[in-house]
C-alpha cells in the first residue's frame, strides 16, 4: 500500500565528504524501485564526466525557471546557482520518496517549504576531508583551507536534532548501505 505522500530526504555534507559518490551508489542500488526517485539538480555550471550528474543551465535559463515556478528550491554557492525542480512536488504527492542533493545553508528554508523533511548529513573526519580535497586537484591550498574551515563552522546537528548522520570515512559501500537502509526502512515502516 502506498502512503498518501512521499518523504523528502535532503542530503547535505561538506564538499569532499563523498556526498555525490554516496548518492550515485544509492541511485544505482535502488534504480528498480519505482517508489524512490533521485532528483537531478539544475546548476549554472557545465556538466562534466567526473562530477555530479546535473542539468547544466546558463544564469539566464536558471532565472527564467525560477520566475516561472519550475524550480522549487534554489540557492547560490561558489559562484553558481543550484536548484531542485518543482517536479518533486508531484512525485511526493504521488507517494514517491524523493532524495535531494541539498545545501547545508539552505536547510532552514527547505524545511519551511517541506515541514516533513528528513535531513541526512554525510560526515567525514577532518583528516579524510583534507585527503579527499587534495586528491581532487580542483582547489588550491587556500581554497581547501577555506572549505575545511567552512565545514567546521556549519553545525547543523545542534539546530536539527532529528538529522540522520552517516559517517563516510571508510568504504563507500558501508555508508551507502546505511543510506539505502535509511531510505528503504522509512518506506517499509510507513507502508505497513
Reported for 104-111, long-range contacts at CB under 8 A and 24+ positions apart, including other chains, are 104/12, 104/13, 104/14, 104/154, 104/156, 105/75, 105/77, 105/154, 106/73, 106/75, 107/10, 107/12, 107/156, 107/160, 108/159, 109/73, 109/75, 110/10, 110/73
106 vs 11, 35, 155, 158, CA distance in Å?
A: 11, 26, 13, 16
pTM over 0.75: yes
Q: Which CATH class is domain 8-187?
A: alpha beta
Which tens digits make up the pLDDT trace of 105-122? Answer: 899 999 999 999 999 999
What pLDDT is stored for residue 22 in this prediction?
94
In the chain, where are the structural domains located? Answer: 8-187
Which has more pLDDT, 24 or 139?
Answer: 24
Nearest Cα to Cα of residue 16 among 186, 190, 135, 110: 135
173: left (phi over 0), alpha (psi -120 to 50) or beta: alpha
Which tens digits make up the pLDDT trace of 15-69? Answer: 888 898 999 999 999 999 999 999 999 999 988 766 678 899 999 999 999 999 9
Who contacts 98 (Cβ-Cβ below 8 Å, separation ≥6)? 6, 7, 8, 9, 36, 37, 38, 39, 88, 91, 92
What pLDDT is stored for residue 1 in this prediction?
41
Nearest Cα to Cα of residue 53 among 23, 15, 14: 23
Nearest Cα to Cα of residue 133 among 153, 121, 119, 151: 151
Amino acid at each position: 500500500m502506498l502512503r498518501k505522500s512521499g518523504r523528502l530526504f535532503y542530503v547535505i555534507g561538506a564538499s569532499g565528504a563523498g556526498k555525490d559518490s554516496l548518492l550515485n551508489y544509492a541511485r544505482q542500488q535502488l534504480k528498480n524501485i519505482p517508489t524512490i526517485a533521485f532528483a537531478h539538480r539544475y546548476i549554472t555550471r557545465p556538466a562534466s564526466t567526473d562530477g555530479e550528474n546535473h542539468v547544466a543551465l546558463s544564469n539566464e535559463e536558471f532565472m527564467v525557471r525560477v520566475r516561472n515556478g519550475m524550480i522549487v528550491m534554489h540557492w547560490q554557492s561558489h559562484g553558481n546557482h543550484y536548484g531542485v525542480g518543482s517536479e518533486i512536488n508531484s512525485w511526493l504527492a504521488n507517494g514517491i520518496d524523493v532524495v535531494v542533493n541539498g545545501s547545508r545553508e539552505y536547510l532552514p528554508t527547505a524545511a519551511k517549504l517541506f515541514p516533513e523533511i528528513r535531513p541526512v548529513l554525510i560526515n567525514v573526519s577532518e583528516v579524510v576531508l583534507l585527503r579527499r580535497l587534495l586528491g581532487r586537484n580542483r582547489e588550491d591550498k587556500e581554497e581547501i583551507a577555506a572549505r575545511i574551515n567552512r565545514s567546521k563552522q556549519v553545525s547543523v546537528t545542534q539546530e536539527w536534532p532529528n538529522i540522520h548522520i552517516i559517517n563516510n570515512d571508510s568504504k563507500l559501500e558501508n555508508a551507502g548501505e546505511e543510506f539505502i537502509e535509511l531510505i528503504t526502512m522509512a518506506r517499509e515502516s510507513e507502508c505497513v
